[in-house]
A and B are shown apart, each in its own frame.
Chain A
Amino acid sequence: MDILDRRPNPRGKNTENRRRVLQRARTAVQSAVRDAVAQGRIRDSGQGSTVSIPADVLHEPRFHRVFSEGVRQFVLPGNREFVPGDKLRRPPGGAGGGQGGGGSGEASEDGGGEDSYRFVLSREEFLDLFFDDLELPDLVKRELAETTMIANSRAGHSSEGAPSQLDMGRTMRRSIARRLGLRRPKPEGLEEIEREIDVLEAERPLSNERYERLQFLREQRLAQSQRMRRIPWVDPVDLRYRRFTPVPKPTTQAVMFCIMDVSGSMTEKMKELGKQFFMLLHVFLERRYEKLDIVFIRHAETAEEVDEETFFTDPKTGGTVVSTALEQMLAIQKARYPVDRWNIYVAQTSDGDNISSDTPRVVQLLTEAILPLSQYYAYIEVAGSGAIIRSDSDLWGAYRTLAESQPQLAIRKVRDRTEIFPVFRELFARREAET
């Protein structure tokens, strides 16, 4: 009998199988993930998320019979009051399967378990599925804005370096070669001699012949141990280190300005929609682009730059002057993001209300300053889901005229939470590079 402790065995025997089942159910899982986001759970998904998908995607068919007419008999345990001849009402559950024993009990049992599958996805998996095939438009187009970064790359070996980069295998190979080449005596050989000397020294009387042998061995011992000391086990010439060499790597730098209207005319629900959109944008950008700055600007009648936390959580209210936000954005851009080094993206949400006197100023700022230097400008207009039928807002009208002549300006309307994701996809769907 053997007892084996298998507990230290490698874990995750089924990781590959799990990956394959996800792959197979990819479309279904993806739509489940997007539903989950439409219900506003993206920010909660820090630990990963549970999604359910319909079972038919993963159904494994086989031939099996269904009892649909005729007579069958089955035996059940636990009789209390029945006597032969009793007639029982057929339990609900349909003629075919029913709650019964024998043949069909098995079928209904199988069916019951397979209504849907739940997957617990890690945050990585979740976002991967969610943002599949989205990217910032035209990020590579502008070659001007490319900067180089230095990254270390493996490049052979060297005879000096940091101890942590010591290549043991190579070092020891060289050490062995050197020791063999220089005939360094083996410790075992020396021990052998010592042992013989001990024997001879203990022997008495000692014959001449044996005495000479003793002398010879003593010389040998001296010679060999000196040689051993002279030829070290590992010599500095053996040492080999892994070498790294700096290699320039081109990267593109980008900045995303998120501008949100928090004025009094925005109802809580509209603000919520705006925040949802930015949340999506934020998670998306954080995930896809290492070298990307995000600037949060909110405005009422004045504009201010805020941090992420405030942007998403802090309530504020007031009148509406859109141009203040645009000016603020321009100021930040001038100070921190020179256009020859940075790709510039802007996303703006608003309910479209603006002081009428301000709108021409907005148009002017956009056409003269902002649009020429930005790669992409997305304007999202949020509307209350109400039945209020009204004509297009000031801002919408103005932006629409602009959009006709300016290809980098994209404008969309969002009325309901469920529309956010489709609009988001539309704005950031991966496009063929236009050449």
Chain B
Amino acid sequence: MLYTGTDWNFDILRNCYDAIEQIAVDELGLEVYPNRIEIITSEQMLDVYTSHGMPVSYAHWSAGKRFVTHENAYRRGLMGLAYEVVINSSPCISYLMEENSATMQALVIAHAAFGHNHFFRNNRLFRDWTDPTQILDYLEFARSYIARCEDRYGVKAVERILDAAHALQGQGVDRHLGNKRVDLRAEADRARERREYEDQRFNDLWRTVPKAELVTPNRESSSAQDGAQGMPEENLLYFLEKHAPRLESWEREIIRIVRLTAQYFYPQLQAKVMNEGCATWVHDFIMRRLHEKSLIDDSAMLETIHSTTNVIAQFGFDQGGGPNFNPYALGFAMMTDIARICATPTEEDRRWFPDIAGNGDPIGTLKFGWAEYRDESFIQQFLSPKVIRDLKLFRLTDNLSEPYLLVDAIHNEDGYRDIRRTVAASYDPGALAEEIEIVGADMQGDRVLRLEHRTLAGRLLDPTDARLTLAHLADLWGYGVSLREVDQQTGRELGVYRAD
């Protein structure tokens, strides 16, 4: 028996970890980054929330805003705190709350330190896009760099850049594998070298030399062609960092920091259902095995079941809790069902999943799924009729020209495919993201930067936010900016915004 009762201490944690590791590695064959477990208080958990789970973050008022929101919600009892937060880094850091019972600590170690950790290490998205060995150093660099800029140029000047860059963060990620996986360590070195070079070159005498008349028109003409500036470009932050004519080099570096940070979080949004499903399935498996091996007692097992059930509760559309899927519920249901299909398939499963039904290797199949898919493709591939029936899914068509919503597919033979396609599409990052591109800039004339939002009628940008965001963009660009919304099929103009 690893422990009895609810109290834990560091020896118990260590023993639990070893027992869990044995099951995770020997029985499940999980591959994980080295683990680091950190015990924190609830107050520190609020800090972790504020910084999106990152252990280090630069100072900005928006973090204060998130902190105040979380703190209020927590103090008023509107929000419970997560039992754990885990960071995609190597070593993989799991934060455990001190208030957790011994069982919860064991569960959370299984969930985060093995479930999530395995997912981070093996999923293709994370492998291609993120470099977990360097993120912690890079964040440390980002914080100290921004703090130094604040010392040098003032908080206001830095805030101006950060505000604008944050507004454009959604348009600051590369969505396609081209230049993948930035070397974050080299990033920090690069910035340091550039700064040293500037320091070396600094000569106060230059200040006294009369400034030249802006830029000579001759030099411009070479970069005037749109193509020369790498247009069209969908990564607005990247474009500004490289081409905005009036930014200082430290301002470009800050934009780069915001961009790289956003890029780091990008995979997490695309694999939330799978990530949580994987972690929940893993902890469920491990805790059951601990009980079978008589390492935890019955009351601990009941607590585990109770807590897992809470996490994977999926309320109906009319039961409160919002219209969205609980990623834990959907993910766990799918993982459990895949394991079932592999082990004991029904006739239906054999028709739907001829590749995996009855292959007798549930763990291998799951691990293959965790490694090679993201939410959208995973659902498209593996959402089974049984899960659709269990969750009682149905599809509504919302045609705004009609006064009613139409139920056009339910959990029956005719509806399975339609429902599966629609659920998968709702996780498709390509369909969800706004397609905004920089299409040109008149560098010889008024230097107005031209953007296009390719969309459909009835799916336009929120006008207030669009204007405010565009003002931020114009601020960084230094000249006017215009944004046209065009129909992606006909090319018809649907709306125009301008900012100077």
Partner of A79 from the list B64, B410, B461 (CB cut-off 8 Å) is: B410
CA separation between A74 and B335, bound complex, in Å?
23
Q: Give the residues in chain B near A62, CB-CB below 8 Å.
A: 167-170, 465, 469
CA separation between A298 and B37, bound complex, in Å?
66
B14 within 8 A of A: yes
Within the complex, the shortest CB–CB distance from A286 to chain B, in Å, comes to 28
CB-based contact B65/A58 at 8 Å: yes
Known interface pairs A60-B166, A68-B400, A77-B316; A86-B465 also in contact (CB < 8 Å): no
CA separation between A100 and B395, bound complex, in Å?
11
CB-based contact B36/A20 at 8 Å: no
Given A3-B13, A74-B395, A83-B407, 18 more pairs with CB closer than 8 A: A1-B21, A6-B95, A7-B41, A16-B64, A58-B65, A61-B472, A64-B434, A65-B460, A65-B462, A66-B459, A68-B400, A76-B394, A77-B392, A78-B314, A79-B392, A88-B405, A113-B69, A119-B68
Segment of A21-29, A155-163, A276-284, A344-352 engaged in the interface with chain B: A21-29
Chain A: CB-nearest residue to B464: A61
Within the complex, the shortest CB–CB distance from A14 to chain B, in Å, comes to 4
CB-based contact A86/B407 at 8 Å: yes
A:91-106 near B, CB below 8 Å? 95, 98-103, 105-106
Q: Give the residues in chain B near A209, CB-CB below 8 Å.
A: none
Known interface pairs A4-B39, A75-B395, A80-B392; A118-B422 also in contact (CB < 8 Å): no
Proximity string of chain B (50-64) to chain A, C-beta cutoff 8 Å, 1 when within and 0 when not: 100000000111111
CB-based contact A100/B393 at 8 Å: no
Chain A: CB-nearest residue to B36: A2
Partner of B394 from the list A2, A11, A79 (CB cut-off 8 Å) is: A79
Q: Give the residues in chain A near B44, CB-CB below 8 Å.
A: 6-7, 9, 11, 13
A:372-392 near B, CB below 8 Å? none
B303 within 8 A of A: no
- Please give the residue numbers on chain A whose beta carbons come within 8 Å of chain B beta carbons, in ascending order: 1-7, 9, 11, 13-14, 16-24, 58-80, 82-90, 95, 98-103, 105-107, 109, 113, 117-120
Q: List 11 A-B contacts (CB under 8 A).
A: A3-B14, A5-B39, A6-B38, A20-B61, A62-B469, A66-B461, A70-B400, A73-B397, A73-B422, A76-B323, A117-B68
Within the complex, the shortest CB–CB distance from A86 to chain B, in Å, comes to 4
CB-based contact B317/A87 at 8 Å: no
- Please give the residue numbers on chain B whose beta carbons come within 8 Å of chain A beta carbons, in ascending order: 10, 13-14, 17, 21, 34-41, 43-44, 46-47, 50, 59-65, 67-69, 71-72, 75, 91, 95, 98, 113, 155, 163, 166-171, 314-319, 322-325, 391-401, 403-411, 414-415, 419, 422-423, 426, 432, 434, 436, 453, 455-462, 464-466, 468-469, 472
CB-based contact B59/A17 at 8 Å: yes
Q: Give the residues in chain A near B41, CB-CB below 8 Å.
A: 7
Chain B: CB-nearest residue to A83: B410
Within the complex, the shortest CB–CB distance from B18 to chain A, in Å, comes to 8
Chain B: CB-nearest residue to A52: B72
CA separation between A24 and B64, bound complex, in Å?
10
Q: Give the residues in chain A near B469, CB-CB below 8 Å.
A: 61-63
Q: Give the residues in chain B near A13, CB-CB below 8 Å.
A: 44, 47, 50
Known interface pairs A16-B59, A90-B403; A105-B398 also in contact (CB < 8 Å): no
Q: Give the residues in chain B near A76, CB-CB below 8 Å.
A: 316-317, 323, 393-396
- Secondary structure of the A contact surface, majority rule: mixed
CB-based contact A73/B396 at 8 Å: yes
Partner of A84 from the list B322, B408, B426 (CB cut-off 8 Å) is: B408
Q: Give the residues in chain A near B400, CB-CB below 8 Å.
A: 67-71, 95
4 smallest CB-CB distances across A and B, nearest first, come from A78-B316, A69-B458, A21-B64, A17-B64
Q: Give the residues in chain A near B60, CB-CB below 8 Å.
A: 17, 20
Known interface pairs A62-B469, A79-B394; A21-B40 also in contact (CB < 8 Å): no
Within the complex, the shortest CB–CB distance from B104 to chain A, in Å, comes to 15
Q: Give the residues in chain A near B167, CB-CB below 8 Å.
A: 60-62
CA separation between A84 and B415, bound complex, in Å?
9
Within the complex, the shortest CB–CB distance from A295 to chain B, in Å, comes to 41
CB-based contact A105/B460 at 8 Å: no
Within the complex, the shortest CB–CB distance from A273 to chain B, in Å, comes to 34
Known interface pairs A70-B458, A82-B394, A84-B410; A75-B405 also in contact (CB < 8 Å): no
Chain B: CB-nearest residue to A1: B35
Q: Give the residues in chain B near A101, CB-CB below 8 Å.
A: 323-324, 396, 426
Q: Give the residues in chain B near A89, CB-CB below 8 Å.
A: 404-405
Partner of A77 from the list B21, B325, B401, B472 (CB cut-off 8 Å) is: B325
CA separation between A79 and B315, bound complex, in Å?
11
Within the complex, the shortest CB–CB distance from B16 to chain A, in Å, comes to 11
Within the complex, the shortest CB–CB distance from A78 to chain B, in Å, comes to 2
CA separation between A52 and B432, bound complex, in Å?
33
Partner of B62 from the list A16, A60, A64, A85 (CB cut-off 8 Å) is: A60
CA separation between A102 and B322, bound complex, in Å?
12
Within the complex, the shortest CB–CB distance from B311 to chain A, in Å, comes to 16
CB-based contact B34/A109 at 8 Å: no
CA separation between A395 and B456, bound complex, in Å?
73
CB-based contact B462/A64 at 8 Å: yes
Q: Give the residues in chain A near B415, CB-CB below 8 Å.
A: 84
Q: Give the residues in chain B near A22, CB-CB below 8 Å.
A: 64
Within the complex, the shortest CB–CB distance from B299 to chain A, in Å, comes to 24
Within the complex, the shortest CB–CB distance from A112 to chain B, in Å, comes to 10
